[in-house]
Every structure is written in C-alpha cells, then in structure tokens.
Amino acid sequence: MADRGTLTRRGLLVGIGAAGGAGAMYAAMGALGLAPSEQDKTFTPPRQGDFTLKGRGAAKVVILGAGVAGLTVAYELGKAGYDCTLLEASDRIGGRNLTLRGGDRLTELNGAAQDARFGEGVYFNAGPGRIAPWMVTMDYCRELGVPIETFVNSNASAYVHTEGRTVRNKTARADMYGYVAELLAKATHHRALDRRLTGEDRERLLEFLRRFGDLGPKLTYEGSERRGFTRYPGMDGGTALTSPAGLHEVLAAGVGRAITNDFGYDQATPMFQPVGGMDAIVTRLVEAVGRDRVRTGARVTKITDQAGSVTVTWEGGELTADYCVTTLPPHILAKIPHNLGALVTAALRTPVPVAAGKIGLEYGRRWWELEDRIYGGVTETDLDITHIWYPSYGYHSERGLLVGYYNSGEPAELYGALTPEDRRRRALTQGKKIHGEKYRAELLSSVSIAWERQPHLQGGWVRWPAFDSSFTLLQRPSGRVYFAGDWLTHLVAWQAGAMESARSTVTQLHRRVTASA
C-alpha cells in the first residue's frame, strides 16, 4: 500500500477516471507514459486573423517545386492569405506523387517515351502507394476530402519466394515461428535460461511459446494448420499442408526479411491509400491552392538572396518575393547557381540520391484472385524484383494491375538502365518463377518507371550518411530562403516527410513574418 497522503499514480488516475471518464483517464495515462499516445505533435496553421491587427498584408512567397512539399507549403500559407507562386520545372504537377492511367505518357531522361494503355478504372501508383495511420498524410486526406481505403500491405496468402522456392506467407511464418518457439521452449524447459528466468517466468514463457509456435505437447513443432491447406475445410476437414521441412531447411530458406516487414512501425497493418489513385492528394491540394498559382515548365536557373527580398530566375522569367521556399531535391538544387554560400552547397551535396523503380503489369484477368486467392498484399522475394504488389482495389473486376517490381538501390539501377521492353521481359522472367507461365502469357500492357531517370528529380529518394550538421543546417533558413522536402526529415521517402517539413517551414516563416510586421 502506498502511503496515505502521497498522491500515487494509480490514485490520480482513479480520480481522473471518476471525474472525466475513460477518455480523460487514457489521456492522463499517456501523459504519465503509461498508455501510448501516438499524436502529441501540434501544428497551428497560419490564419487570416494573424495579420488583421498588424495593418500589414501577408508576405509574397515564391515556392520552388510543386510536389507534395511545395503544395503543402502553399496550402498552409494560403490559409493566412500569403501571396504564393509555385515554380515547377516539369509540365506536370505533383513531383513523385504520380498515378498513371490509360492515355498517360511517361518520358525519361535519354529514354523512350512509354504510353500507358491501361483499361478503364485501372491505375498505377508509380510513386508513393501506402500511408501509415499515424502519418500526417492521413490528416491531409481528411482535411482535403480525399477518400481513403485500406491498403493491404501484409497478406498471409501472398507468397514468399527465397532460394528458388515459393511458399505462402502463412506457411513461412508458421514454420519459422514454430521452430523458434520450439528451440526457446526446449531451452527454457531444460533450465538453460534459469539465470534470466524465475520459476514463474518459465511457466509464463512456455505458455506463450506454445501459442506462438503452435507447439505439440512435448514442446515440439510438428507443423500446424496455420501453414494452410491444399483444400480448405468445408463439409469435411479439408487437406492440410503436409508437415514442414526440417529445421535446417527452414532456416536455409532465409525468410527472415520477408516475414518481418510488417513488424515495422511504418509498415504495420492496416495501411491506407486514396480511393482511385494517390494523385487525389495532389489534385485536392492544387484545387485548394489555386491552379493559377502554379507555373509549370519553369526551370529555375538562379536564386539570389538580397537584403530585403529574394529573386528567382527561371528560363523565361524572373520573380522577386519576400521569401523563397525551395523544395527541390538537394542534388538538383546544389547545381543551381545561388548566393547562399559554400556551406549550404556542401550541405546540399551531403545526402546521396537513391535509385528506385516500379513496373505496372496489367492483366485482362485477375488470376491472382481467381486462382491464387490473393486479394491485395505483397509477395516478398530475394530476386531483383524484390516485391510483387497485388492491387488493393477493384477486387473481382475484369482487369487488374500488379506492381511487378518495386526495388531501390542496385537492382533499381540495373532495371533503370534497361529499355522499357527489357525491363518488362526481365520482370516477367522473374515473376514467372513464382506464378508460372500465365504471368507472361496473359499480360496486356505495362509501364515502368526509373525515378533516377525522371527529369528534375533524378532519384527515388535520398540517403543521409548521417543526420549530421548538414541536415540541421538546412532545416533552418539561409537568409530569406527556406528549404523543405521529405529529404529534410526522418521520414525520407514518405509524403508525410514532405508534409512535416512543409509544416516546419511554414511555422518558422510565419513566426518571422508576424514578428516583423
């Protein structure tokens, strides 16, 4: 018993619970570090009213890049009436948020143009494809009215293909968990862990391991219905998959990476996607910002920071504003003449661009649903295609589109260097190892993207060798020039990174403007 008179945590919570109900109690538990509270970051968007008492208008801001970061900056500043202009080098708005549909054309640096021939309702998210529930991207979807649906990131019926063999994800999990549980249970039972475990611990751990591995009475993994069936139960008990291979073979299959992906805090189920394509986020942001504020085909050639203004020059024009926010990829920005100093240039050269690629494979028949019973999710492989994504939309419709590879780094460079035809050929050869001849024979059309070959981007994302002083330097303005983008956050390669960075920039800029007004 705690001392009377001492305010114990439990006593406090009981009091709060009685006064404020369970919700208040959980919030208080979060504050005490007991129940996890996932969102305590606050962002206050600029408001029109922030200027009304100051007798001064909002500032004029030129934003470089009309991707998710640039658009979010313009959207948030727009709430307070800032006069924003976005300069976009490409003739398309959205940056890496790219959804391809039938009729779209994709061009690459020194490459052939590809025409998407997908049927009605079929789309290919060539850039971002999934959103975790804790990400700020979800808040923007809600605020902008972008409808979302579940993205199946993990599917027990999808496959794991390693060392030349294909098994269902559920089978790989059952066997790995089974054997791991058996080994640990036996070591526990034989008192090998007594230095760490009390007698009670031992019993509790064994109880857990029996469940975790579906172990037999002798703490042995003998296979499990969790592995799946060749014929599922119905009027009779069906036909369960036969017993697992031995421990040695199961370990040799090397399924570790494949079966732990959804353990990641950013990959855990459920994840989400906008209905109808990821670019709904861009569409709604542009509507909110105003299409007339975005100038496309404007490749920036010079940035000059002056005492009281910034001048941005592009091919065909020049614009002077109070502030500039540049969201260009650091390796692109580093090559544009500016007067921000050598430290800034050096910092911009620190993050290393990483190649990333995807191929969309369209089929006239959703054989993965009809024959494999795979509805969404990902097959993990140790091949150079890395993953196969099955669509999390349009179930049971006629056509459908798989992502036949999604890779980064070396394998992405390998595919990116091929012609679109050779990329497709290679992807089909790999996928055939898992799905058989139909994978090649039934293909209708395909489009592939190599982000390192996309003009004005030249990379899928960046890798920071370390989140060092270059990283923190660029999180602050250089004179009147601010930097933003996913590359300036710990959420590199997520739209949420672009949005968090945009919010940080908007907060800093607005504070400065309102303080100086």
| Chain contacts with ligand PHE (rule: CB under 6 A) | 130, 266, 493-494
Kindly report the number of other CB atoms within 10 A of residue 467's CB atom.
Answer: 12
Question: For 339, which DSSP code?
Answer: S
Shorter beta-carbon distance to ligand PHE: residue 279 or 322? 279
Query: Closer to ligand PHE at the Cβ: 340 or 354?
Result: 354
Nearer to ligand PHE, 153 or 327 (CB): 153
Q: Is the dihedral of CA 480, 474, 455, 447 positive or negative?
A: negative
Of 11 and 264, CB closest to ligand PHE: 264
**Which of helix, strand or coil describes residue 144?**
helix
Q: Which is nearer to ligand PHE, 407 or 470 (CB)?
A: 407
At its nearest, how many Å lie between ligand PHE and the CB of residue 176? 21
Q: Is 514 exposed, middle or buried (0-12, 13-18, 19+ CB in 10 A)?
A: middle
- Closest approach, Cβ 40 to ligand PHE, in A, equals 23
From the CB of 378, what's the least distance to ligand PHE, in Å? 10
Strand 317-321 relative to strand 310-314, pairing: antiparallel
Which of helix, strand or coil describes residue 303?
strand
Residues 485 and 464 sit within 8 Å (Cβ to Cβ): no
Count the neighbouring beta carbons within 10 Å of the beta carbon of residue 140.
Answer: 22
Q: How far apart are CA 302 and CA 299, in angstroms?
A: 10
Q: Tell me the closest approach of the beta carbon of residue 316 to ligand PHE, in angstroms.
A: 34
Q: What angle do CA 310, 312, 313 make, to 5 degrees?
A: 150
Q: How far is the CB of 373 from ligand PHE (least distance, A)?
A: 25
Residue with smallest beta-carbon separation from ligand PHE:
493
Q: How far is the CB of 124 from ligand PHE (least distance, A)?
A: 15
User: Buried (b) or exposed (e) across 203-212, using 16+ Cβ within 10 A?
Assistant: eebbeebbeb
> 């269902």: which residue's tokens?
168
Q: How far is the CB of 492 from ligand PHE (least distance, A)?
A: 7
CB nearer to ligand PHE: pick between 328 and 493: 493
User: Smallest distance from the beta carbon of 137 to ligand PHE, in angstroms?
Assistant: 11
Pick 300 or 462: Cβ nearer ligand PHE: 462
Cβ-count burial of 319 within 10 angstroms (0-12 exposed, 13-18 middle, 19+ buried)? middle
Q: Which is nearer to ligand PHE, 124 or 314 (CB)?
A: 124
Q: Return the number of other C-beta atoms located less than 10 Å from residue 196's C-beta.
A: 10
A 10 A CB-CB count for 328 gives: 27
Q: Are 233 and 90 in contact (CB under 8 A)?
A: no
